Structure 1
Amino acid sequence: MKVKVTYLLLVVFAFFSSEQSKAQDKVWTGAVDSSWHVAGNWNPSGVPTSGQTVSMRGNTTPYPVITSSVTVRSVTINQYYSNPGDELTIRNNARLTVTYDFTLNGAGVLNIVNGHLEMTATQSGQNNLNLNSAQSVVNITNGSFTVGTASEDVDAEIIGTFNLGNGDFTVFGDFDVSNSDTFNAEDGTVIINGNSTINGTYNGNDGTTTFNGEVDVRSGGVLNLDSGTINFNGETFVGNSGVANLGTGTVFVNNNIEVKSGGYFNVEDATVTVTGNADFTSNGNLSIDNGTINITGNANLSSGGSFDLNDGNLNVGGDASFTSGGTVNAGNANIELEGDFTVQNGSNFNADSSTVTFSGDSTQTVSSNGDVTFYNVVVDSGAVLNTDGGSGNTIVIENNLVVEDGGGVDVEGDDQIDVQGEVQGDEEAVNSPNPFAVSANAPTLTTVAITFNKAMDEAISENTGNYSIRRVSNSASVSISNAVLNTGGNSRVVTLTVSTITEDVEYEITMNNLESEDGGEISDNHKKRFTKVGAVIFYSRQSGNWATNSTWSRTSHSGSAATSNPGNTNNAAIIVGDGDVVTIASSTSIVNQTSVQVNVSSTLRVGSAGILTTGSKSITGTGTFEVTSGTLQIGSSAGIASSGSTGNIRTNTRSFSTSGSYTYNGSTAQVSGSGLPSSVNNLTINNSSGVTLDNNIEVNGTLSLTSGVLIIESGNNLIANTKSIGSGKLRMKQTISGSNGWRLLSSPLSSNYVDLFDAITTQGYTGSSLGNAPVDSLQPSVLYYVESYPGTDN
């Protein structure tokens, strides 16, 4: 509560109180040392007490230092405005309590190193914090400065510089930063319970600021924020050339905000949430660099001013209205709207390359006094984009329209729609009484097919004069010799015969005077873009990762970086050249690529964590292919060869490391090939048609028999101490010469009698395949010995 005393009472009381206070005043002399608590440092002698007024009159050294808690009535630092001025320091967790005014004049300085200053306001309604000069300075390292109490307001006016450090600053009254003066929150915490007026500069820095009352940034005032947080709990105003610059921090406006009269609200990389409405009026301006502003209520731009959205994000939970001369420059922003969208009365919405998403849970109406142009439009599930149907306007979408499942577009009355790019998603959910071009493509280099949303009038549609085609990059025209409507089908497709076009070049069709069978009319200068996509080629432009855009160019080995890479693009021809080394360091497949070529002095490497799946494709060229420590998945029936033109790898130079891992996963029977090292890390067989090893091999890691049979030819050896067996099998072949005589035969695998002699004809003993009768006519064909029996020495 603030209490005001009438001027008459003040005059009657003034003489008595001033005479009494003079006797109580204490003036700092510093006659002994710098301690506040030494009587000899004061005139008259004695340490100040709670009812006394203390003054430091001007550069009286040594300056006083408070190291234990004290209470006084008032404090004036640098009473005579000297320069240099006096300084007061509070440290040692001491607390200075002031029950009336605290005044800092001229070049005076207050230092709170590790202490506290409290203005407890026992003199009701008469208490203030006054920094009275641009040279005045408050420095807080750690500690707190409290102005007023919960039951008594004390106002704080900042004239000079206030540096909060890591401290706390709390004001229970109003807060004012005067013109050309500065408050620096730094890493501290600020709580302002009254109203705030910023005519100077308030730097929120990296601290936390809470404004519980109204905030008015005006008259050239500036509010800045770095990475900190600002909470606006009352209404917020930025006007009269006031500016708010919000860096990378977080801002909560828990009320309405109004920016007007040349005010600027600049969201750099910050995230701003407004729970009320955001009104920009009378030349109020909003700019977003890369940040985000979320507005729960309505967003209004009226009577001049601008929204410059650049690469930012603007999300509006209510209606978005741009009226009476305001301009929106959407840039490359993402704009999400849950309510209606209005552009009227001389306002402009410049779509640039932005994306507008309609994400409400019901109908969202676009209202305008004329045509409205968007770049990209997305209609979320549950939302319906609706035109007002009032004055025959056209919704122009310069790029793509995406309609999610459950979303819709309703073009009302005489309104029209022109989607110049692609209609993606649920194109049947776009309802328009007037025709529009849904798609255009070039089946060949001399034909262009245009698909409309409804059946078209044959005679008008086949008039070539209603179409024109130009190349977007240079406006070169393309001649049209014929137009045919598919009357034998749904009468929605017009095929144009044109002069030869160029692959991978964008063209634009302009259509006029077209009508549907039911009399609907297409919009004037209705446009559609198309590209005849040609072969995709990736050239290595530097050594690097296969899945990194900057490794590749779409034009040449010295071209600019691509916007994609072979890791996320199919049907491409890939050329590693110009001495580059390209490393596969993640899961990669060339199964869906057109070709892979490695030129001389260049290398394609399967490195650590790399997995290359080849399928039936081969890697060719005069360069080098290497497997170092990655995994090569082999699909060729010929496996991998050490040289020659068979198998998946056919480069001039090939290096298959013993540290590599190899997987055979073809769809037909495979041989390992001469390129498989005699020692490998891991070997996996995953081919239901089987794989034949034609060399000796040692598996140092794990042999995985996932699917199919691994066949070891006679005379070859396999060493694999660690095995993982799924549905696969291992088959060892042994060749025995056909001449008469006995042969010693043992199983290289863990086996039993039945498996060992399966498919072998035996006789002359019980259990032989021919039986044992007559015993005297059949000589046993199998002899065995028991290894546990000791042998003889003769």
Structure 2
Amino acid sequence: MPQNTFGSRKATLASTVPTKYVNPLRDHRHMASVSSLALMLGAAGIMATTLPASAADVTWTGAISTDWFDPGNWTPVAVPGATDYANLNTLTPNPTVISGANANALLVFVGRNAGDVGALTISNGGTLSDSQGGVGRFAGSIGTVTVTGAGSAWLHADDFYVAAEGTGTISILNGGLISNVRGILADSDDAVAVLSVDGSTWTNSSTLTVASFGTGTLNISNGGKVSDTDGTIGKGDVSNGTVSVDGTGSTWSNSGSLTVADNGTGNLAITNGGAVSNVTGTIGWHAGSSGTVTVDGGGSVWSNSADMVVGYYGTGALNILNGGGVSFGTGVLGYIGGSIGSATVDGGGSNWTGGSSLYVGFNGTGTLSVSNGGTVSNAEGTIALSSGSNGVVFVEGAGSAWTNNGDLTVGGYGTGTLGISQGGAVSDILGHVGSLAGSAGFVLVSGAGSIWTNSSALFVGEQGTGTLTVTNGGAVNSDLGFVGYGVDSVGTVAVDGAGSKWTNSSDLFVGGGGTGKLTISNGGAVSNAKG
């Protein structure tokens, strides 16, 4: 039997993040004080850059025009420099625009304090360089930023916060760029952040979190590109994160891991030719989390180069629809006891492809549905690996197929069920139904065109309890057949109805070391060389 290859990963879960947000800057006595703010930022480790003692607040008034570079638009009357905090807290009489030139500041706040409403547009190749940026900084603030046009950029030497506690909206359009170290959307429980990358680029040299503790949305469209090391959607326990990657050429590239629903709620939609890539992928990591990934449409892909877990401790759902494709190294549905993982592969061209093993119910509960021409392929397949696990797989409809390039086990130590109907097909090398002591495996092959092909032997009740039912014209093929193979095993096979058949190209054994029963009825047929 396959070994638990996730043991080392399970051990890393001690390094979990706190699930409640504690912001060292919530004390509003510090908001107006530059020196206090600098001290708190440093104590919190928020900004790696040493803040100069001469740092000063420069606040936008817009008294003259929309031009960032007009000193008359600021108080005190001076354009912010590289050692200043730039505060954009009003839209009237004019919002703030950087057009065709290069601006600098130490920190930039677009909507800083409660009641502030700020806006910034960077266009015509203009740039803004700072250490950190915050849009919708404190509770009750609102910030809106648009970076539009080739060469237009907002460049952060450190982290970028969209809605740390307030409301922040970012649009990167028409070839614009934002770059930073860490990207954080919605960093407190009531924060709301929306960031759209449309035909443009957002580069995070470190991690990206969509909904750290609040509500965060990331939209990537029209060839937009987002990159980071490790991506997370729905990090805190009350967080709600949503990411959409839509359209040919739209990409989200994670050089490390991608987690959809860490402690909270996470949703990822990949549509119309969008693409997401990472090394390891997890949907529904911690207990209480709930994550959903939908990959919909031809050319839409999610590439996991290593492990992919749907339902680690929490609840995860994977939907592959209408020609979408997902790839993985080793795949798991329902990893830890109490977890729930489900996958649906529906429609012609829809595929879930693994380079290694697939487990449906590792220690938890796993469900796999393959329908309407969808396909799944992997090396070995196991339904209900561990004691107490539950796994169910349905393969339904003409063209629907589950291809195991190694063995297929239905009931390893747990309870496994496999249903093949309405022309669905399953194939493997060795088939095991009720593999190990204490296990229970159930297989139903029903309907004309429905077929289970074992290129080598088929064991029904190998050391546990196994049941195989072939009915309504279904077919099972194997080389050798064993019913009740091991000591104390129980195997039961029923072949019922005209056209229903079990074909063994070699021998068939009913009752070896255990108890075996074979029933052939109503025109069913079983064939073998000898029995």
Q: TM-score, normalised by structure 1?
A: 0.48
1:610-630 CA deviation, whole Å, 9 max, x = no partner?
xxxxxxxxxxxxxxxxxxxxx
Give, as a single letter, the amino acid of the residue that structure 2 aligns with 1:334. A
Q: Cα distance, 1:270 vs. partner? A: 4.3
* 1:147 and 2:204 are equivalent in the alignment: no
Instruction: Pick closer, same or farther for the CA change 1:434–1:48 going to 2, 3 Å.
Output: same
| Counterpart mapping for 1:451-470 below 5 A | none
CA distance in 1, matches of 2:374, 2:418: 16
- Cα distance change on mapping 1:204 and 1:421 into 2, 3 Å: farther
Tell me if 1:131 matches 2:202. no
The Cα of 1:309 is off from its aligned counterpart by 2.5
**Which of the two has higher C-alpha Rg?**
1
Amino acid at match of 1:524: T
Query: Shift of the alpha carbon at 1:188?
Result: 3.9
SS in 2 for 1:213: coil
In the alignment, which residue of structure 2 is the partner of 1:292?
351
Is residue 2:451 matched to residue 1:390? Answer: no
**Distance in 2 (alpha carbons) for counterparts of 1:146 and 1:107:** 19
Shift of 1:388: 5.9
Are positions 1:258 and 2:309 aligned together?
yes
Between the aligned partners of 1:41 and 1:371, the Cα distance in structure 2 is 75
Quickly say closer, same or farther: Cα 1:420–1:411, change in 2 above 3 A: farther
Instruction: Name the SS of the counterpart of 2:55 in structure 1.
Output: helix
Look up the match of 1:367: 433
**Aligned-residue CA RMSD in angstroms?**
3.4
Give the 5 Å matches for 1:682-693: none
Alignment of 1:628-647 (within 5 A): none
State how many pairs are aligned: 417
The residue type equivalent to 1:166 in the other structure is: G
> In structure 2, the residue corresponding to 1:40 is in which secondary structure?
helix
Which residue, 273, 278, 283 being the options, matches 1:238?
283
Post-superposition shift, 1:217? 1.4
Within 5 Å, which residues of 2 pair with 1:518-537?
Answer: 523-528=518-523
Matched letter for residue 384 of structure 1: S
Query: In the alignment, residue 391 of structure 2 is paired with which amino acid?
Result: G
Where does residue 23 of structure 2 map in the other structure?
none
Superposition pairs for residues 664-743 of structure 1, below 5 Å? Answer: none
In 2, distance between residues paired with 1:169 and 1:527?
65
CA gap 1:90/1:204 in 2 versus in 1, 3 angstroms? same
CA distance in 2, matches of 1:357, 1:127: 50
The question of whether the paired residues in 1 share the 8 Å contact of 2:482 and 2:510 is answered with no
Query: For 2:245, which of 204, 215, 222 is the aligned residue?
Result: 204
Once residues 302 and 366 of structure 2 are traced to their aligned partners in structure 1, the CA distance between those partners, rounded to angstroms, is 22
Taking a change above 3 Å as real, the CA distance of residues 234 and 74 of structure 1, as seen in their structure-2 partners, is same
TM-score, length basis structure 2: 0.70
Structure 2's unaligned 5+ residue stretches are 1-37, 45-49, 187-191, 235-240, 435-439, 485-490, 526-531
CA 1:283/1:394 → structure 2, altered by over 3 Å: closer, same or farther? closer
Q: Secondary structure in 2 aligned to 1:204?
A: strand
Counterpart among 260, 263, 273 of residue 217 in structure 1: 260
Residue 79 of structure 2 is aligned to residue 51 of structure 1: no
1:322-721 residue pairs with structure 2 within 5 A?
322-323=383-384, 324-332=389-397, 333-344=400-411, 345-358=414-427, 363-368=429-434, 369-375=440-446, 376-377=450-451, 379=453, 383-387=455-459, 390=462, 393=466, 395-398=468-471, 399-401=473-475, 409-412=479-482, 414=484, 418=495, 420=497, 422=499, 429=505, 431-433=507-509, 523-528=518-523
Question: d(CA) in 2 for partners of 1:214 and 1:231?
Answer: 11
Counterpart residue type for residue 451 of structure 2 = V
Aligned to 1:116: 152
> Displacement, 1:400?
4.1
One of 71, 96, 121 as aligned partner of 1:89: 121
Moved over 6 A (4+): 5-9
- Give the aligned residue type for 2:394: N
Report deviation, 1:308: 2.7
The 8 Å contact of residues 60 and 90 in structure 2, kept in 1 or not, is answered as: no
Give, in whole Å, the separation in 2 of the partners of 1:43 and 1:430. 91
Tell me: higher relative CO, structure 1 or 2? Use CA pairs within 8 A at least 6 residues apart: 2
Give the SS at the match of 2:309: strand
Deviation for aligned residue 1:66 = 0.9
Please state which structure has a larger fraction of its residues in strand.
Answer: 2
**In 2, distance between residues paired with 1:243 and 1:364?**
33
Q: Unpaired segments of 5 or more residues in structure 1?
A: 436-520, 531-794
Q: Deviation per CA, 1:331-358, whole angstroms, max 9, x where unpaired? A: 3232222121122233322333252242
CA distance 1:50–1:299, change in 2 (3 Å): same
**In 2, distance between residues paired with 1:166 and 1:234?**
25
